[in-house]
Amino acid sequence: MSVNRSAAGTIDVPRGLAGVVVTDTEVGDVRGLEGFYHYRQYSAVELAQTRGFEDVWHLLVHGELPDAAQRVEFAARTAALRRLPEEVRVALPAIAEASGGSGPLAGMRTALSLLGAAKGFRPVYDIDAGARLSDTLVAAAAVPTLLTALYRLGRGLEPVEPRDDLSYAANYLYMLTGSEPDAARVRAIEQYLISTIDHGFNASTFTARVIASTGADVAACLVGAVGALSGPLHGGAPSRALDTLDAIGTPDRIDPWIRERVLAGDRIMGFGHAVYRTEDPRSRMLREVAQSFGGPRVEFAVEVERRVEAILAELKPGRELHTNVEFYAGVVMELCGLPREMFTPTFAAARVVGWSANILEQAEDRKIIRPAARYVGVGAPVAVPE
């Protein structure tokens, strides 16, 4: 990628920082032209197919996959952190009521700040690597508890206490529904969670790193990341992809509905990605997960995908537009019984681990992230009128 230096000495970069390399990382990478992404040195899709969530969490924050003993120790350590401090527990009903129609993700921003204060999180600038790791584990382990409690309180239901004997994914579903989920749904959600733990320098990850570069505490970094994730252009699309299937309704309406949208220049939710120019590998994996359940909804989604690509090839030849992770993520989460308003919060329950790994890495660099902007306002500086 080329950049140009202006007369004032600043560097002109592409809009949205597209393609701009801002730092080095060992956490992972996305190879958009290849349709491949990885965590550390391992294929993220292969990890989702072969490993449990706690294994990948260990990989992200410790830099290596755990052996059998480390797996047991890490799972026990993080499970023990799921319960909330009393100061947070008693505040959750008020937070749920105040967030109202904004949903659990909005409430979690407030709850995470309170958690950090209750746990005495200190600026990452002032603490050592062990304390930083401890703070990220405390926060990440608490996120599913916060999200499910806020969701249930918003519906007049009592929160469900976490269980230490369940995996991260199983406990999440248990706290959400109040009943122990079956193994197939646990594994499907676990694969979704693993596939979305990290994905390069997306907006929320970059936000977390910018805040970490100031030396702020872990809770502050995560709250900023949650704020970025809440935007519909970032984490808010899985339910909207299902809305597309609902709007089409029946197989006979697929072609006319798609043609109308394509010719009007409208965006088809669940299709296209800012990085991938091939099929999104997460979508491919989640399609297989959905197909393992089968049923009319899955068959309809596969047919919609096929016809969107065929019609685009006809009407917009040369334009690469494939399903992204949100399309089949919505289908899988619906099959597993998650309500649509919990789709993006569930994304956050996974991505909090990736944010944590990036916060830990950024905290090792004592240089604050401080880019420049190019002034394009009216005129040169002039004297202020009296």
Active site residues: 273, 326
Contacts of residue 362, Cβ cutoff 8 Å, sequence gap at least 6? 23, 208, 209, 212, 213
The kind and range of the H/E element at 373 are none
130: left (phi over 0), alpha (psi -120 to 50) or beta: alpha
Q: Residue 238, Cα to own-chain centre: how many angstroms?
A: 11
Q: What is the DSSP string of 271-301?
A: B--SS-SS--HHHHHHHHHHHHH-SHHHHHH
The kind and range of the H/E element at 39 are strand 36-39
The kind and range of the H/E element at 31 are strand 28-31
Structure tokens at 24: 């080095």
Residue whose pair of structure tokens reads 């919990």 in the numeric block: 342
- Measured between alpha carbons, how far is 181 from 385 in angstroms, rounded to an integer? 70
